[in-house]
Every structure is written in C-alpha cells, then in structure tokens.
Amino acid sequence: MLTLEKKLWMYEKMVLSRLYEQAIEQAYFEGKLPAFNMANGPIPGEMHLSNGQEPCAVGVCAHLRSDDAVTASHRPHHIAIAKDVNLRAMTAEIFGKAAGLGGGRGGHMHLFDPQVSFSCGGIIAAGMAPAVGAARARQLAGQDTVAIAFVGEGAANQGVFHEALNLAAVWKAPVIFVIEDNGWGISVARDACTAVQGNAIRAAAYGVPGIRIENNDPVAVYEAAGEAVARARRGDGPSLLDIETWRLAGHFVGDTQEYRPHGELQALTERDPIPAFRAQLFASGTSERVLMDIENRAAATVADVITFARDTPYPEPAEAYEKVFA
Amino acid sequence: MTIDTDTSENSLVSAAPTRRLTIAKAMTEAIAQEMRADSSIIVLGEDVGKLGGVFATTQGLFAEFGPDRVCDTPISESAFIGAAVGMATSGMRPIVEMMFVDFFGVCMNSIYNVAAKNCYFSGGSQPVPMVLMTSVGGGYSDGGEHSQVLYGTFAHLPGMKVVIPSNAYDAKGLMSAAINDANPVIFMFHKALQGMGWLGTVRGSITDVPIERYEVPIGQAAMIREGADITLVGLGITVHHALEAASELQEKGISAEVIDLRTVVPLDRDRLVQSIRKTGRLIVVDDDYQSFGVASEIMALASELAFKHLRSAPARVAHPDVPIPFSPVLERHLLPSSAKIVAAAEKMIRN
C-alpha cells in the first residue's frame, strides 16, 4: 500500500535529485565556457545527469533498507539520493575533495557509501554480478535483505547481463535487476541495437519474471518494485524490472543530442515526471504549502551540500598513494 | 628436473609435525583449515564441487562443507568473479577459481575494474577480501590458450596482490595469508608443479608441509640458495630451473644465488636489491612473455637501485614475445630451461 507519507518521501527525493542535478550542471559549466574543455572547472571530467529518470530511483528505493545493497551505473546521482547516500560526502567526491566518499579518488561515476550499501561504477553492466553476489551473501546468511542492480537498457546487450541473470536464477538469489530504459545508449537508439521488443522478455530465457513498466510513472514503479522486492525477501528469487524512463539531459553534460529525432526531447520534457507527480499529489489533496515546504527543504539541502563541497579542501597530492590496499 | 627445494629456512613451525605434500594438497589443506575457522569463507568456480577442481585444488571440500560453501558455477567467469566481489563487500571471504589464467580475457572487467579498484575508489571504506586462484603455465602441449602464465598482466594492474608459490610449503602458507588478507589476492599455481598425476610434476615442488596452519607473509621473497657471483631470480616453475642451473654452475666454479619471488605484488625490492648489490650480476628467469613483464621490472629495479653495483648488464631468460605454440618441439624451444640459464650466466661472467 502506497501511503501518502511514502508518496511525499518519493516526491521529495525526486525534487532533491532534480535540484541537485541542476546545481551540479551549473557548477560543471563554471570554467568550461566559452571554449568547452572537460578538464576545467570545479567539476572536471565527464558528467552524466539523471534528469527525468527519478521515478526509477524512488519507486524502487522506497522499498529498501540501509542494509539492502544497491549497485548503480555511470548515471548514479538519483539512485544515490534515493538510497540516502551521505550527500555532503558524495558532493565533495564529485568535486574531488578530501572529504568525499573516496577522498577524491573515485569521482562521480565511482561513489561508495557502505553505510547504506551503495556503490556504482562506470562500466556498462559491471554492477550486475556484484549485486548477485551481494544477494547471495545475504541469502546464505539467512537474512531477508536484498540487492538491486540498476542498469541502462544498453546493458542488456552486454554478456555479463546474461551471465548474471542465469547465475541469479540458479542461486535463486534475492536480487532485482532494474533496467532504466531511457531509449538511448549515448547516440544509439534502443530499437536500433536490440533484437527483441524490449528487454523484459529477455528474463524469460532464465526463468525470471520480467515486468515492463510504462510511462515513467513513480507510482507504477513503486507497485512493481514492491512485488519484486517482496518476492526476493520471501526467498522466491530474482526479478527483472524494465522501466520506461526519459533522459531529459544529454548522455553527458555538453552533449548536443543532435542524434535525437526532432521534437522528441521537447515532447518528453512536457511529460516531465516531477511536475506530473506534483499535479497528481495536489489533485489528491496535498496542499500547495506542503509541496512548497518539500521543495524548499530540498533546495536548502542542495545549497548546503554544494557549499560544503566547494569550501572543503582538496586532498594533499600524496594522498593519491593511499588506499590502493586495505 | 628432479631437484628438491630446500625449505628449511622458510620453516616457521620447524618443530611441528609435517608430511610431504603436493602443491594441490597443500592448497586444499589451507582452504579447508581456514574454512573450518571462518564460516564466511566460501569457494566458487567451475568444477570445484564434487570433482574437487580440475587441478585438485578443492578435493574433499564439497563433502565436508556442502554445496552452499563449495559451489559449482556456470561457465560464466564475469558473473561469478563479479559475484565474489559483491560477496566480499557483504562480509564474506570468497575464494574463486578461474580454471586457466588464459580465460581472463572473458572476465577481466570483473577483476581489474571491479575487484581491484573498489578499495581505492572508496577511499578504503570498501575493501574486497577475496582470493582468485588460477592455474598457469605450459610445457605439456596444451596450446596457446591453456599454457600462458601472464604474471606481468596481473602484476601490472594496481589493486591486486599477486602470489606464485614454487613449492607446497609456500603454497599452503601463501593460501592462508591470501584468504586472510583484506584485499584481492591472485593466487597463481603452476600446472607443472601441481602434483597432478596426468601432468607430471617437478619433484622439488613436493615438500614437507606442517599439519598446523601457518602463513607465509605476502610480499616476501625467499633466498633459497646462497651464492656470490650471480643472482638468479625465479618464480613458480622457473625457481626450479634456476636451482638446477645453480647446481650446474657450481660444477663450473660459479656460485649462484637463487631467489624465489613467491610474491610479485607487492614486490620484495629490498631482498632483490640486497642480492644484486652483493653479486653484481642478475639473470631473471620468467616463463611469461619477455617484454613489459616481471623480468623487465626486476631489470629496471636493478638499474634504478643497484646500478653502481652491477658488474655487467642484467639479462633475462623468458618466453619470447610470440604466442605459445602447440608442437612440443616448438614449445620447448621457447620455454626457459636450466641450460639456457647456464649459458646466459657463463656468457655474462665471461664478459
């Protein structure tokens, strides 16, 4: 049952995630204009924003506890936020600071917060097998905790996707594979590189339930994820959720997206899941005041973590030699 | 090759009862002892269950610990090595077997991008305590996809410790140390030393092994024969080639010191430099591809840290930079041997 309290939690995480990405984007462009040079500015390197994909993160993570493991991809911020990763430390990591989750060694694609069992990585599909292992470890320990692997739809064409599904099914591991299907692997459309009509049906090859969730709807994701998580906690094994979502940003910040069909991005932006969810909450009786409070709280949090990340010091260069081994 | 390795200087438990074991039995014994002491240790891999490992590394473990802890996996190295990382970061200590090191090509991402980097990227908050044991080496005409050693490949990529036992005593102690290490440890065992009836075994790899558990510290090379004129450095099977060569050189009046690396990451630079400074001459014997590898690294180390003490240019006896051929005539021609070492040493000393 999706309570109002949970709905408001989901809305707050979605808003927080979006405002966070907007603040990151703004900081990212500092020092990179007029001539775009990826190495410049307070946030150098690649930056993959999650604008539009918030329903996937909140609909799934609403069911999770801090000791449920999550692995995410190169586009991890919305999921980290929904999983309650320490946002000050995460932001400091993105800015390359000593107070970052990894002391500045990982960057935005390599965020690790063991307090909430969160990790992510920059290689497509690489988090799937670790999620299977994390699930197996929980199963062997007799716990009812689960593991979630978030991947994009492009990951379904990686070999390890299939290895991981098979292994999870063999072990009946409490793992849920979540495909955030935004339709695009950088510039290549899903249908141009996928031999089947959507990836949910691929789960059948491994005897795993595969559920397609349309319309980037946080409530629909919540319902489907609830069943999958409950199934895993019961000991009934893995599931695959294939969620239609929308990439409302470029693959990376600076991506001109000329490969997208004319009008697609505008049409999807008009269906932005955050205003839609807000309207739904308002229509069902949540007051403007409550919604504004949530939005103001999220904005304050973003301002706090960005300020923290800017002000906290860089690591000493010699710290680069530390932490190769435990 | 019939030379026994003298392990007396290695013996940490000299008074304890011992028996002669093969490397395979020594590895299995270490794994079993550690598994009895720590229920978080499990073994994963292809044919590690009832079969007991294609190279006999897990004989009897399935019967003792059952299928949850000694688990046959699908032929899916990316998945089960990646899964081991997830287990390791969830409080377990997995031991995975990659049947042949040559298979690394299908799963290297799980190894070098996931297992080896999590600790660093997480600033040390997410260590990955796991062992990846894998068979290496040729000399028995198994062709070029089942005969490589690839020490240099794994040693080159940061974040993994790499151990290579030349004998059963070290194999047991290094395995216990690897299992209890907080980091990914690549445990590379040479097929020609393993003690498998069907493969033939260098006799020196079979040694006295204490019944009690013990550790051989990771990162410590062993000087296993003392000498004055030249330092021969080996690892795995080439330790035995070097010992045989040292005996032959002795008859020719040349006193060779032999160092068994035992670990290549972290490399025991102090022990190597000490010996090179003493003898002033260095030959590295490595059955890996010659260029950009362990032999090259040790020669670089000699020039960086012992240059003034060198009495001649260091040399290496390694596998040339070509794939490993099938035909015994061709393979034997390329692999290191005691004769090649003796020839290289004589040439070096004559000059």
Closest partner residue to B90 (CB to CB) among A113, A134, A166 is A134
Please compute the mean of the pLDDT values over residues A63-81 and round it to a whole number: 98
Lowest-pLDDT range of A189-203, B78-92, B191-205: B191-205
| B162 strand-pairing partners | B186, B265
Determine, for residues A159 and B80 on separate chains, whether the beta-carbon distance falls below 8 Å.
Answer: no
Helix A159-171 to helix A128-140 angle (10° resolution) is 10
Within chain B, how many helices (H) and strands (E) appear?
Answer: 12, 14
pLDDT in tens, B12-68: 445 679 999 999 999 999 999 999 999 999 999 999 999 999 999 999 999 999 999
Statement: residue B3 has pLDDT above 80: no
Please report the pLDDT score of residue B5 as a whole number.
42
Nearest to A135 by CA among A180, A73, A69, A78: A69
Sheet with strand B263-265: strands edge to edge? B70-72, B41-45, B93-100, B130-136, B184-190, B161-163, B263-265
Please compute the mean of the pLDDT values over residues A227-253 and round it to a whole number: 98
Residue with tokens 């492009």: A154
Averaged confidence pLDDT in chain A: 97
Q: Which letter, b or e, does each residue of A142-176 get, where b requires 16 or more Cβ atoms within 10 Å of its Cβ? A: eeebbbbbbbbbbbbbbebbbbbbbbbbbbbbbbb
Q: What is the Cα–Cα distance from A288 to B228, expressed in whole angstroms?
A: 87
pLDDT in tens, B216-257: 999 999 999 999 999 999 999 999 999 999 999 999 999 999
Residues of chain B numbered 121-150 and touching chain A (CB < 8 Å): 121-127, 129
Determine, for residues B120 and A138 on separate chains, whether the beta-carbon distance falls below 8 Å.
Answer: no
pLDDT in tens, A134-152: 999 999 999 999 999 999 9
Statement: residue B10 has pLDDT above 60: no
pLDDT in tens, B259-310: 999 999 999 999 999 999 999 999 999 999 999 999 999 999 999 999 999 9
Residues above pLDDT 90, as percent of chain B:
93
Please compute the mean of the pLDDT values over residues A167-173 and round it to a whole number: 98
Do B325 and B337 contact (CB within 8 A), yes or no? no
Statement: residue B4 has pLDDT above 50: no
| B289 strand-pairing partners | B319
Distance from CA of B159 to the nearest CA of A (A): 6
Distance linking the first and last C-alpha atoms of chain B: 29
CATH 3.40.50.920 segments of chain B: 222-350
Amino acid at A247: R
pLDDT in tens, A13-46: 999 999 999 999 999 999 998 888 999 999 999 9
pLDDT in tens, A84-131: 999 999 999 999 999 999 999 999 999 999 999 999 999 999 999 999
CATH architecture of the domain B17-210 equals 3-Layer(aba) Sandwich (3.40)
Please compute the mean of the pLDDT values over residues A158-166 and round it to a whole number: 98
And the tokens for A197? 């009509």
- Which chain B residues have a beta carbon less than 8 Å from that of A130? 82-83, 85-86, 89, 114
Residues above pLDDT 70, as percent of chain B:
96
Determine, for residues A129 and B110 on separate chains, whether the beta-carbon distance falls below 8 Å.
Answer: yes
* Model ipTM value: 0.93
Q: What is the Cα–Cα distance from B182 to B57, expressed in whole angstroms?
A: 22
Please report the pLDDT score of residue A3 as a whole number.
97
Please report the pLDDT score of residue B199 as a whole number.
80
Contact B113/A at CB under 8 A: yes
CATH 3.40.50.970 segments of chain B: 17-210
And the tokens for B341? 């070492």
Statement: residue A203 has pLDDT above 70: yes
pLDDT in tens, B176-189: 999 999 999 999 99
* Annotation: CATH topology of B222-350: Rossmann fold (3.40.50)
Do B160 and B182 contact (CB within 8 A), yes or no? no
Please report the pLDDT score of residue B15 as a whole number.
63
pLDDT in tens, B97-146: 999 999 999 999 999 999 999 999 999 999 999 999 999 999 999 999 99
Determine, for residues B90 and A71 on separate chains, whether the beta-carbon distance falls below 8 Å.
Answer: no
How many A/B residue pairs have CB atoms within 8 Å? 150
Please report the pLDDT score of residue A35 as a whole number.
84
Strands B263-265 and B161-163: antiparallel
Nearest chain A residue to B85 by CA distance is A130
CATH architecture of the domain A4-308 equals 3-Layer(aba) Sandwich (3.40)
Domain spans, chain A:
4-308
Strands A118-120 and A69-72: parallel
Distance from CA of B259 to the nearest CA of A (A): 26
And the tokens for A232? 């895993």
- Which chain A residues have a beta carbon less than 8 Å from that of B183? 325-326
